[in-house]
Amino acid sequence: MEIEAYLRKDYITNLVREGKRLDGRRFDEYRNIEIEKDYVGEKACGSALVRLGDTKVLVGISLNVGEPYPDAPEEGVMTVSAELRPLASPSFEAGPPGEEAIEVARVVDRGIRESKAIEMEKLFIEEGKVWIIFVDIHVLDQGGNMIDASGIASIAALLNTRMPRYEDDQIIRGEWSGKLPISCVPVPCTSVKIGDSILIDPGLDEEYAMDARLTVATTDTINAMQKGGQGTLKEDEILSTIDLSFEKGNEIRKLIQCP
């Protein structure tokens, strides 16, 4: 695995220097994106499967009633977790989330939280009781760019989420009362730097070959950013990646909002 990745890095770096990508895409071109909402619709409150090229991510949403955070007693709570399932890649192992899974979850979390996409103040039930929203990211096939696939699947699943009926201090499972209130659609866009070029939506081999990575999650403003990788980025590279992320984010947002 390691040695193969090392050899492929050289090949891909040379290819990029000639202005080409392994799968023939332009540098500013995403792979094909398919969004399937309500993929596991019988039990979960909401779900979506996203295929980004051959990367597959399934997100399921569960709702529970619980205690609010002390510093926001009248708002709902959201937690995002990611599991990189071992069936998705030979390099994933069973067990508790590692640093890669935690990074995916936290970057997706920041985009949703900071854009205030979920109207948390509408999730207040009564004093000491609010709705808790669990966003569970399941990476099923790792073909590269898990962050974007997970972010797109998460907000698509949230848009698909129904509120369970709540009566006499009890959740009535299988009965619903309306949709989860969502105010905007944050979209993370990830680019990598290989040599002196910036490529959006890296495939798996491009991730091995990358020097640095930058994710920019946008709505009408920037809501979250995350630099990754052991290489460096220049100011103009960061600024042009922001522009590209706004542009691509808008296109992807339209896809997500398609009913």
Partner 1 sequence: MAKEDMELIKDGRRLDGRKFDELREIKIEVGVLSRAMGSAYIEWGKNKVLAGVYGPRELHPKYLRDPRKARLRCIYNLAPFSVEDRKRPGPDRRSVEISKVSSDALSSVVMLEEYPNTGIDIFIEILQADAGTRCVGLNAASVALADAGIPMKDIISSCAAGKVNGEIVLDLMKEEDNLGECDLPVAIMPRKKEVVLLQMDGKLTKDEFKKAYELAVDGAMRVYEMQKEALISSVNDVIIGE
Of residues 29 and 121, the one with the C-beta less far from partner 1: 121
| Chain-centroid distance, C-alpha 93 | 21
- Considering only residues 197 through 226, tell me which ones interact with partner 1, judged by CB under 8 A: 214, 221-226
The token pair at 1 is 């695995």
- Going 41 to 83 to 142 to 216, the CA torsion angle's sign is positive
Q: Does 238 bind partner 1 (CB under 8 A)?
A: yes
Piece of 45-53, 156-164, 166-174, 235-243 that binds partner 1 (CB under 8 A): 235-243
Q: Supply φ then ψ for residue 184, to 5 degrees.
A: -160, 175
User: In this chain, which of 21, 31, 110, 138 binds partner 1, going by CB under 8 A?
Assistant: 110
Collect all residues with Cβ–Cβ distance below 8 Å to 246 and sequence separation of at least 6. Answer: 216, 218
- In the window 69-98, what residues touch partner 1 (CB under 8 A)? 97
Residue 248 interacting with partner 1 (CB under 8 A): no
Q: Which of 32, 167, 230, 258 binds partner 1 (CB under 8 A)?
A: 230
**Residue 130's beta-bridge partner residues?**
66, 124
Query: CA-to-CA distance for 72 and 3, rounded, in angstroms?
Result: 50
Count of residues near partner 1 by CB under 8 A: 35
CA dihedral of 197, 153, 105, 243, whole degrees rounded to 10:
30
Binding positions for partner 1, rule: CB under 8 A: 2, 6, 97, 99-100, 102-103, 105-106, 110, 113-115, 121, 214, 221-235, 238-239, 242-243, 246
